[in-house]
Amino acid sequence: MPNNSPSRFTDKFDEEFDVVVVGYGFAGGAAAIAAADAGCSVLLAEKMLDPGGISITAGGGIRLAKDADKAFEYLNASGDGRTDPDILRVFCDELMNLEEYIRNLATVNNAVCEKRDHPGNYPFPGFETFQAIEISGVPGFDPLVGYPHVRGRNRGPLLFKVVEDNVAKRNIEVRCGTPARRLISGNQGEVRGVTLEVDGKLTSVKARKGVILACGGFEANEEMQQQFWQLQPVLPAASRGNTGDGITMAQELGADLWHMWQYHGSYGLKHPDPEYFNAIRMKRLPDWRPAGEKDGKPIPAGHDKTVPMSWICLDQDGKRFMNENPPYAQDTGHRHLEFFDFTRMKFPRIPAYVVVDEDGRQMYPIAQTVFNDREAAYYAWSDDNLKEVQSGILKQANSVGELAEIIGVEEAVIQNTLDKWNEAVESGVDEDFRRPQETMTKVQKPPFLVGEIWPVVSNTQGGPKHDTKQRIINTFNEPIPRLYEAGELGSIWGFLYLGGGNLSECFITGKIAGNDVATLENWD
């Protein structure tokens, strides 16, 4: 960042637009499209050299609902009362319109849409109302060719291609490698523009109607993590770009914050070479729904399909401490590592250890890198999990004794842990942590592979609080004039997440913010 710090107040602008959108993922793209369709001139500024943020690494499933009231009932329960019901209500109402919106966007390049029933992750009332829509193909487009810097699941890049083509169709000005440094405001606190950095130089951009912050969360900001999360360290999974810039800029204008503790994440491995910035997530297995109850009637457990899980996780004492495959592991898997032992004054599960035997090693690659970063080193996991022994991510133990030595406990402790687990597999019941029977596999045949596992954050949910129009509000519950947010910056997810919900939120909130800012009179 240049040494000359930008001023919050200025009457001199280098250029001007009706609307400036900060951040070009799904939310920023949707906001820019909405504002442009309403007749606004729009600048879409992206910090990184390539657009997409962490949006482009997503699975690509966008949540829909068949019944807005049932969707609200579910989200109000899963959110544990931590989100304004009026905001949830608007979101649920918009879920009903989202399919038509996505299909309209898809016409830009004849993208193929697939829709399916996709119940909620947890057995709260209304779980059955949810569906999902995905982009399954774009004629003539190969994500690996079109976005060679992106590694993840194909349908996220396909969806981003739809967004990018819609932005291009509208001739919206896009500038990558252009981070926002500070909001520009008037004497009454109203937003008048934003200072951007271009090739190391600061430029002041007037936003005649307003600024929309769609620049994601703070996954890659270690200082913010230390202030808001008990778990340390937490490794970012997808991008170095999300460093809480929108939070910092909005706070200067008095923004209230919410959901700062909440993040979407699991557990994973890291490369010993610091050149590899990103965490390596464990293989994603199918989600499942535990049993529940509604109006005194049981809700059965459910799942689309089951896949055996090849590993178990041990703490620093050599014992299992969790269901390694919780209902939605990619959202809450990290929470099991949060325990702090006050008698020993340490986190005995940071790091913890993942253990795979020879049969498990041959089952499938146990981990995968999810990535959007042209400049950072990328690690491709091997098909047989053996390259990782050479790279130092995993260690090989030829016996239970060697496994115990790596973890740092007595051999008898590890042997007892393995015996107890293998007996549970035989019986089909994990009495300790209730891991689903279909996922249970024995860990008994050497050589064993063992790796340190750490908390991993895919995306944060916290940030500036907003109202039903996506206006950022201050600590007195008043809108900060001409300042909006969209997407994962100040997300609605306050306790338990709905898989694919962030993607729906990106499009819904981006559209709302873009439409509302367009209605404002120019401040000049």
Closest to 29 (Cα-Cα) out of 87, 140, 108 = 108
User: How many whole angstroms separate alpha carbon 25 and alpha carbon 47?
Assistant: 11
CA 82 to chain centre: 19
- Residue 28 · residue 487 · CB < 8 Å: yes
Q: CA geometry: angle at 130 spanning 485 and 107, to 5°?
A: 65
* Most distant CA pair in the chain, distance: 76
- Residue 421 · residue 443 · CB < 8 Å: yes
Which tokens hold the place of 81? Answer: 């009362």
User: How many whole angstroms separate alpha carbon 478 and alpha carbon 466?
Assistant: 10
- Residue 262 · residue 462 · CB < 8 Å: yes
β-sheet bridge partners, residue 258: 463
Instruction: Say what angle helices 68-78 and 85-95 make with each other, to 10 degrees.
Output: 140
At 10 the pLDDT is: 83
CB count within 10 Å of CB 345 equals 7
CB count within 10 Å of CB 342 equals 6
- Residue 205 · residue 14 · CB < 8 Å: yes
pLDDT tens series, the chain, 524 aa: 444 567 688 889 999 999 999 999 999 999 999 999 999 999 999 999 999 999 999 999 999 999 999 999 999 999 999 999 999 999 999 999 999 999 999 999 999 999 999 999 999 999 999 999 999 999 999 999 999 999 877 899 999 999 999 999 999 999 999 999 999 999 999 999 999 999 999 999 999 999 999 999 999 999 999 999 999 999 999 889 999 999 999 999 999 999 999 999 999 999 999 888 889 999 999 999 988 887 777 777 887 678 999 999 999 999 999 999 999 999 999 999 999 999 999 999 999 999 999 999 999 999 999 889 888 888 999 999 999 999 999 999 999 999 999 999 999 999 999 999 999 999 999 999 999 999 999 999 999 999 999 999 999 999 999 999 999 999 999 999 999 999 999 999 999 999 999 999 999 999 999 999 999 999 98
Alpha helices per DSSP H over 374-446? 387-391, 400-407, 411-427
pTM assigned to the model: 0.96
Which tokens hold the place of 323? Answer: 């269901």
- Domains annotated for the chain, with CATH where assigned, are 15-262+461-518 (3.50.50.60), 266-287+301-457 (3.90.700.10)
At 7 the pLDDT is: 67
Closest to 460 (Cα-Cα) out of 236, 250, 249, 252 = 236
At 298 the pLDDT is: 75
Single-letter amino acid, residue 363: M
Query: What's the chain's Rg over C-alpha atoms?
Result: 24
437: phi then psi, degrees, rounded to nearest 5: -55, -40
Closest to 164 (Cα-Cα) out of 274, 257, 53, 289 = 53
User: How many whole angstroms separate alpha carbon 20 and alpha carbon 43?
Assistant: 5
